[in-house]
Amino acid sequence: MEKKYTPSLWLCILMDLIGCASYAVPVLGDVSDLIWAPISAIIFYRMFGGSIGTFGSAFNFLEELFPGTDFIPTFTVAWVVKRIWAGRRTVAMK
């Protein structure tokens, strides 16, 4: 059985903090979100892959693009979901 990769929690928290950093500069923040949204979505998909990565990257793209939604910790929530999903899969196999 092959072990699936789960990204580090600290890396997920860092990615969420980078996404929230646009709040630091009010006007420039909205412009930076236009640049960060596709980059963040690509990173999200590469980190999680599979169905979580596909759905999550689309959600992450929209969350970063729309103003006022940067507070959602998408990477961290995906990390928790992936850990719970992996835990359930392990229990089911025993």
Question: What confidence score (pLDDT) does residue 68 get?
Answer: 80
pLDDT digits (tens, 9 = 90+) for 8-27: 999 999 999 998 887 787 77
Taking CA atoms, 54 is separated from 9, 31, 35, 77, in Å, by 19, 25, 20, 14
- How are the residues of the chain apportioned to helix, strand and coil, as percentages rounded to the nearest 5? 80, 0, 20
pLDDT digits (tens, 9 = 90+) for 33-71: 889 999 999 999 999 988 889 999 999 999 988 888 888
Does pTM surpass 0.85? no
Higher pLDDT, 9 or 90: 9
- At residue 9, the 3 state secondary structure works out as helix
Who's near 59: CB < 8 A, 6+ residues apart?
Answer: 74
Residue 2 confidence (pLDDT) above 70: no
Residue 26: Cβ-neighbour burial (10 angstroms; 0-12, 13-18, 19+): exposed
